[in-house]
Amino acid sequence: MAAEGSSGGNRRYDPDRKARIIEATLEVIAVQGVSGTTHRRVAEAADVPLGSMTYHFASLDDLIEQAFLKLTQEIAHHFDAAFQKAQTAEEAREAVVDVMCGWFAMTERKMTLILELYAYVARKPDIRHVMTGWMAKSREALERHFSPDVATSLDAIIEGATIHNFMYPEGIPREAARRIVAKLSS
């Protein structure tokens, strides 16, 4: 498996290795949590030797940080795309409702990863830039359609609704979300 490299080689010189390790790291974090993420488990998931871990990444924390950075960039990109598509104010409001309850990209796996990220960031102030970068992108996307004040409130309600929908059964029905967004964006 995975023997179809670009240069015909069976191993050795695989420029996608680092990216694949990062991908595998997210997979391991999603299943085992940060607390269960080890060099060996990630290496197995990415199908690379253990030595590759310390070769490509300075430390385990470095690896986790890079993985989280990729996660936020991906999500921010999807988020931005969802709002770039909206043309009218009505469509923008509907996009907020989409994101609030059952976004296409907000799978259970991703939500788990986000919560792991939050907990991780809370204890490591030096990687808070990952969050602020993400936040800035989200805010920017929202402010293309709403005033700064409204954008702030929508950002918060998206955060809260997403978490509640994930944590509790039923959560917030789509109709209720629509009413909330209407109130907030008035």
Q: Given the rule CB under 7 A, which residues bind DNA? A: 7, 9, 11-14, 17, 37-41, 48-55, 59-61
- Which one of a copy of itself, DNA, none interacts with residue 178, CB within 5 to 8 A by kind? none
Smallest distance, Å, CB 9 to DNA?
5
Smallest distance, Å, CB 148 to a copy of itself?
10
- Which one of a copy of itself, DNA, none interacts with residue 159, CB within 5 to 8 A by kind? a copy of itself
Token pair of 81 as six digits: 């795309």
- Which one of DNA, a copy of itself, none interacts with residue 81, CB within 5 to 8 A by kind? none
Q: In which residue are the tokens 């944590």 written?
A: 167
Binding site for a copy of itself (CB under 8 A): 31-37, 111-112, 115-116, 118-123, 128, 131-132, 135, 149, 152-153, 155-161, 163-164, 166-168, 172, 176, 179-180, 183-184, 186
Query: Please, which residue, 7 or 186, has the CB nearer to a copy of itself?
Result: 186
Spatial contact of 130 and 72, defined as CB atoms under 8 Å apart: yes
Say which DSSP state 16 is in.
T
Query: Please, which residue, 69 or 135, has the CB nearer to a copy of itself?
Result: 135
- DSSP string computed for 65-108: HHHHHHHHHHHHHHHHHHHHH--SHHHHHHHHHHHHS--SS--H
Token pair of 8 as six digits: 């015909």
Angle between helix 60-85 and helix 108-123 axes, rounded to 10 deg: 130
Query: Measured between alpha carbons, how far is 65 from 68 in angstroms, rounded to an integer?
Result: 5
Strand extents, DSSP E, the chain: none
Query: Please, which residue, 28 or 86, has the CB nearer to a copy of itself?
Result: 28
Query: Please, which residue, 5 or 133, has the CB nearer to DNA?
Result: 5
